[in-house]
């Protein structure tokens, strides 16, 4: 038996329940991973709330790192191997889990389980946002909302290493200072009434070719307003709720704008893409480009509070669930 968090209905944080569940031996192509550290990500709240529906009842959580405990026939790992995973299925909020070997990545020496669980999903998100969604180059400029969040802090560091100028937004003075310390060139408080004017003041009045928006409803119109003709809005999250539906004609009258709604699953659809993306992240950790900040740790029986904290924007950097 293993302890695992399950949901039997969607709703608020209180719908999550810690249960004792049987864990079968892994089947062909599967492995059993004993989790040592579990990543807490905003997307987990979407699954729990029903914004991104899952068949019920279900486990929850997409990211963790640990040690292979048992292997099924044909799996390309061995007991004792250190591994990490994200987007391998649902149910990472557990002491142990069975997963397809094809959705695991080897964990290199020098990267701890805690760092891997804190960085893999967020880091791979930054990898595809920077290199494959927009393919920004040295000298380019972009705007990034929620610069002090887990993805934002990694984005600022990685973009700085590439020579990309980054303007960020954050919700408090403390978060602005945190984003500036993690690579952002300038950061504006998006709660201010004149936020658009402040952002444009950072660029001498020039609008952006790319805006990254993980906030959603609260910043969507602002993001469109700040794009130059033929600019790209990368809407990759809904921290403030999903944006309101809008008329596609808006993209035309604003100057032939582009909008994309990318997901990590789409950018790591094959084992080769998954492992290449993860390797790029771990290389950046090992060469010092990415400093992973873990500011919150919770036990499995504290997951309700963990979700309340992340939804109320009380967290900074990365958060972990650490099994007992």
The C-alpha atoms of residue 234 and residue 31 are separated, in whole angstroms, by 35
Q: What is the pLDDT of residue 225?
A: 95
> By C-alpha distance, which of 322, 320, 323, 272 is closest to 121?
320
Domain boundaries along the sequence of the chain: 2-119+268-321, 138-261
- Among all chains, which residue has been given the structure tokens 């809005």? 233
Q: Count Cβ atoms within 10 A of the Cβ of residue 2 and give its class: 0-12 exposed, 13-18 middle, 19 or more buried.
A: middle
- Among all chains, which residue has been given the structure tokens 């944006």? 243
Mean pLDDT of the chain: 94
pLDDT tens digit sequence for 211-224: 999 886 778 899 99
Element (DSSP H or E) covering residue 83: strand 82-86
Q: Which residue has the higher pLDDT, 219 or 55?
A: 55
138-261 shares the fold of 2-119+268-321 = no
Q: Is the dihedral of CA 63, 125, 170, 291 positive or negative?
A: positive
CA distances from 164 to 79, 113, 142, 199, 201 (A): 42, 30, 8, 17, 18
Topology adopted by domain 138-261: Rossmann fold (3.40.50)
Q: What is the pLDDT of residue 219?
A: 83
What CATH number matches the domain at 2-119+268-321, 3.40.50.720, 3.40.50.300, 3.90.180.10, 3.40.50.1370? Answer: 3.90.180.10
pLDDT tens digit sequence for 166-203: 999 998 999 999 999 999 999 999 888 899 999 999 99
Q: What is the pLDDT of residue 240?
A: 67
């Amino acid at each position: 038996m293993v302890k695992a968090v399950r949901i039997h209905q969607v709703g608020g944080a209180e719908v999550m329940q810690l249960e004792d569940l049987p864990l079968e031996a892994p089947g062909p192509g599967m492995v059993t991973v004993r989790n040592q550290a579990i990543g807490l990500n905003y997307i987990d709240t979407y699954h729990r709330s029903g914004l991104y529906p899952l068949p019920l009842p279900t486990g929850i959580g997409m990211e963790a790192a640990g040690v292979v405990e048992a292997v099924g026939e044909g799996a390309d790992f061995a007991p004792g191997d250190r591994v990490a995973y994200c987007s391998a299925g649902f149910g990472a909020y557990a002491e142990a889990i069975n997963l397809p070997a094809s959705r695991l990545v080897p964990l290199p020496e020098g990267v701890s389980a805690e760092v891997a669980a804190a960085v893999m999903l967020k880091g791979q998100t930054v990898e595809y946002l920077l290199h494959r969604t927009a393919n920004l180059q040295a000298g380019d400029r972009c705007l990034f909302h929620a610069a002090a969040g887990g993805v934002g802090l990694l984005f600022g560091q990685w973009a700085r290493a590439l020579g990309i100028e980054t303007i960020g937004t954050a919700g408090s003075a403390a978060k602005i200072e945190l984003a500036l310390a993690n690579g952002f060139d300038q950061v504006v408080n998006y709660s201010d009434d004149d936020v658009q004017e402040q952002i444009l003041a950072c660029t001498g009045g020039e609008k952006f070719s790319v805006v990254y928006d993980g906030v959603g409803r609260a910043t969507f119109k602002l993001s469109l307003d700040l794009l130059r003709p033929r600019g790209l809005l990368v809407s990759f999250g809904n921290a403030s709720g999903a944006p309101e539906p809008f008329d596609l004609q808006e993209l035309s009258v604003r100057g032939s704008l582009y909008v994309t709604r990318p997901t990590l699953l789409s950018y790591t659809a094959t084992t080769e893409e998954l492992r290449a993306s993860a390797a790029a992240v771990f290389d950046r950790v090992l060469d010092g480009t990415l400093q992973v900040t873990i500011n919150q740790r919770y036990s499995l029986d504290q997951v309700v509070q963990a979700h309340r904290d992340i939804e109320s924007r009380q967290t900074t950097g990365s958060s972990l669930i650490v099994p007992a």
